[in-house]
Amino acid sequence: MEAPMTAALDEQWKAHRLRVEAQLPLYVAAHADFPETLRESMLYSLMAGGKRLRPVLVLLAAEACGGQWQEALPAACAIEMVHTYSLVHDDLPAMDDDDLRRGRPTNHVVYGEAMAVLAGDALLTLAFEVIAQHIADKSVAAECCLDLANASGPLGMVAGQVADLAAEHAGEATVEQLEHIHRRKTGRLLCSALTLGGRVAKADTDTLLALARYGNAVGLAFQIADDLLDVQGDPQKLGKQTQKDATAGKLTYPSLIGAEASRSKAEGLIKEACQAISGMGKKGKPLIDMAQFVLSRDH
Ligand code: IPE
Ligand code: IPE
Ligand code: MG
Ligand code: MG
Ligand code: MG
């Protein structure tokens, strides 16, 4: 079910991706005096490519709320740093033990496990420094730190990763358990992209709630698509190995309910997401297109 993204989204995505990719190394380089190997290892994973979905969503959400992408750029870079850290750690031998990411050997394969752990630590902490330092309105900066910490910490992504590992080869599982894992390991961080953009643009409470509903639905759909791509995707396009989840005994949507039911669950979530932001009208169009991309993506 291949549906190319709309030309308009393609163009906006590319422009925003280039803005994020121009800024990311500047934030890393801003500290003149830190170990060269650490810098290399951080930049190796951060600048390896990747879709930049989360930072682009931050910028699109800010614009959909009437804000400027420039004001949202620190938050966009921060979430990409947190996401990249999560990938570096996710790939470690103690976790998913992967050797290919974003089309390159994984961080620990190149720099060793200790440096990969530390580069991840450094990306995570730098993210919060970037928000605190570069978002001009300090009360907005504090709200953004709270959103991102909540989404990525022991209530969010880290909790989801713990549950993901605990569910490996665990036998009997329910769809509720699986949904809980996916919402936390992937959904919450993706959702925070939307609320970060909204907060920077000073969106009102109802709009933030609508963005959060959209983000939670798209976030879960995104991980269902990731599970499907592990079974059906092309490693060349994905830049990572496929057929890994079954070998690792991961609890995934296709393994629990089958590919067809997984796809229709994702379709339902994308409808729910689009419905949540229908009140935004024309301004929400790029987010609607983005939701469709998540459903049809092949990378
Ligand atoms: C991969 O995320 C990890 C998941 C949460 C499923 P992405 O598919 O967004 O990876 P990149 O950033 O494009 O490499
Ligand atoms: C990713 O889940 C969740 C993270 C928080 C990184 P996966 O383990 O399925 O992601 P991939 O398939 O390795 O990218
Ligand atoms: Mg994992
Ligand atoms: Mg993994
Ligand atoms: Mg996966």
Spell out the residues 6+ positions from residue 30 whose beta carbon is closer than 8 angstroms to its own. Answer: none
Cα–Cα distances in Å, from 166 out to 172, 177, 180, 201, 208? 12, 11, 13, 39, 33
Average pLDDT over the chain, rounded to whole?
96
Residue 290 CA to ligand 4 center (angstroms) comes to 23
Grade residue 4 by pLDDT with cuts at 50, 70 and 90: low
| Structure tokens belonging to residue 283 | 């301004």
User: Measured in angstroms, how far is the CA atom of residue 227 from the centroid of ligand 5?
Assistant: 5
The band of 184, judged by pLDDT with boundaries at 50, 70 and 90, is: very high
The ligand 2 atom at the shortest distance from the C-alpha of residue 160 is 5
Does 1 score more than 50 pLDDT? no
Return the HEC string of 205-251: HHHHHHHHHHHHHHHHHHHHHHHHHHHHCCHHHHCCCCCHHHHHCCC
- pLDDT digit string (tens) for 72-125? 999 999 999 999 999 999 999 999 999 999 999 999 999 999 999 999 999 999
Q: How far apart are CA 79 and CA 157, in angstroms?
A: 12
Residue 33 Cα to ligand 1 middle (Å) = 30
Pocket test for ligand 1, best of 45, 87, 96, 220 (most atoms within 8 A of CB): 87
Output the pLDDT for position 120: 98
50 Cβ inside 6 Å of ligand 1: yes
Whether the per-residue pLDDT at 2 is higher than 90: the answer is no
Residues having CB within 6 Å of any atom of ligand 2: 86-87, 90, 96, 98, 157, 161, 185-186, 226, 240
86-90, 171-175, 187-191: the lowest-pLDDT one: 171-175
Distance 96 CA to ligand 4 centre (A): 5
Q: Is the CB of 226 under 6 A from ligand 1?
A: yes
Residue 171's pLDDT is: 84
pTM above 0.85, yes or no: yes
CA of 277 to the centre of ligand 4 (A): 30
- The neighbouring-strand residues paired with 105 are 100
pLDDT exceeding 90 applies to what percent of the chain? 93
Report yes or no: 64 and 196 within 8 Å, Cβ to Cβ. no
Rounded CA gap, 277 and 69, in Å? 19
Distance 284 CA to ligand 3 centre (A): 31
Q: SS3 of 96, please?
A: coil
CA distance 299 to 288: 19
Q: What's residue 33's pLDDT?
A: 86
Residue partners of 201: CB distance under 8 A and separation at least 6 = 61, 62, 63, 65, 66, 67, 68, 71, 72
Residue 3 has pLDDT above 60, yes or no: no
Q: Please, which pLDDT band fits residue 12 given cuts at 50, 70 and 90? A: very high
> Which residue has the CA at smallest separation from atom 10 of ligand 1?
50
The residue-averaged pLDDT of 39-66 equals: 97
pLDDT category, 229, cuts 50, 70, 90?
A: very high
pLDDT per position as a tens digit, 118-127: 999 999 999 9
* Ligand 1 atom 11, closest CA: 50
Q: Identify whether the C-beta of residue 101 lies closer than 8 Å to the C-beta of residue 110.
A: no
Nearest CA to ligand 1 atom 3: 87
- 70: tokens are 């420039």
Phi, psi of 204 (to 5 degrees): -75, 170
